[in-house]
Amino acid sequence: MAEVREGVSLNTSPEVLGIEHSLDKPVYEKVKRLLDIILCLIAFPIGVVLVILAAIFIKIESKGSIFYSQERLGKSGKKFKLYKLRSMSIDAEKNGVQWAKRNDPRVTKVGKVIRKTRIDEIPQIWNILKGDMAIVGPRPEREVFYDKFENEGIPFRRRLLVTPGLTGLAQVNGGYDMSPEEKLEWDMVYMRERNFIMDMKIIFKTVTVVFTGSGAR
């Protein structure tokens, strides 16, 4: 089983990319959905406190909305509104749509902190409760990036075969440091091997990042 660690060499062999046969896990999916709801309800009070504190600093630093919503693609290409705390300047895309990267100059000072600790993603608890997302899964992206990468020969739409997640194997093994190809490879490994043990390892590492910043990208 794939380890939740850094420095793993991945490949794009048919065994990794041909994951369709691994998608039929009805018991896993139902139990995972129930656990997602329970964990989100448990985390909600702490999440509210962190969001309020972050919102105060966001408002002090810059004008504009505290929250940010954006259309993303979910399972089977279903569109939904993803919610985040705003971590970039209000004119972040004045030069057009851009793929987020490490040390992105569009990120505000407060944004650097909330992105490093993943606090900016907390509003997605609502997306999880609604069923748009799961706690663990490939990160949802905008349709424009799916189209772009597919045109470049990267089979990025394979990620739409499962419910997207708040965090994932790619996020805890590199995140913003990864190219689209590397991110896809990690997501394919998760989709092929996903199970409760892997999910808990990813959640544990993500929680560690939120409270310590250790390992954040």
Whether residue 85 is contained in a domain is answered as yes
Pairing mode, strands 134-136 and 165-167:
parallel
Identify whether 5 is part of a domain.
Answer: no
pLDDT at 187 over 80: yes
pTM of the prediction? 0.81
| DSSP annotation string for the chain | ---S-SS------HHHH--GGG---HHHHHHHHHHHHHHHHHHHHHHHHHHHHHHHHHHHH-SS-SEEEEEEE-GGG-EEEEEEE--B-TTTTTT------TT-TTB-HHHHHHHHTTGGGTTHHHHHHHTS-EEESPPP--HHHHHHHHHTT--GGGGGGS--EEE-TTGGGTGGGS-HHHHHHHHHHHHHH--HHHHHHHHHHHHHHHHH-TT--
- Residue 12 falls inside a structural domain: no
pLDDT band, very low/low/confident/very high, at 175 (cuts 50, 70, 90): low
pLDDT of res. 214: 55
Does residue 111 belong to any structural domain of this protein?
Answer: yes
User: Which pLDDT value is given to residue 115?
Assistant: 83
Question: In this structure, is residue 6 part of a structural domain?
Answer: no
Tens of pLDDT, residues 31-74: 999 999 999 999 999 999 999 999 999 888 888 888 989 999 99
pLDDT tens, residue by residue, 29-38: 999 999 999 9
Q: Flag whether 178 is in a domain.
A: yes
> Is 138 within the bounds of a domain?
yes
The predicted model gives 104-109 an average pLDDT of 77
Q: What would the pLDDT profile of 152-167 be if each residue is shown by its tens digit?
A: 999 999 999 999 999 9
Mean pLDDT (whole number) for 164-178: 84
| Residue ranges making up the domain that contains 58 | 25-90+97-212
| Angle formed by the axes of helices 26-61 and 109-116, nearest 10° | 160
Question: How many domains is the chain built from?
Answer: 1
Residue 2 in domain: no
What confidence score (pLDDT) does residue 75 get? 94
Q: What's the whole-number average pLDDT of the chain? A: 82
118 pLDDT tier (thresholds 50, 70, 90) = confident
Distance in angstroms (rounded) separating the CA atoms of residues 10 and 158: 17
Average pLDDT over residues 181-200: 92
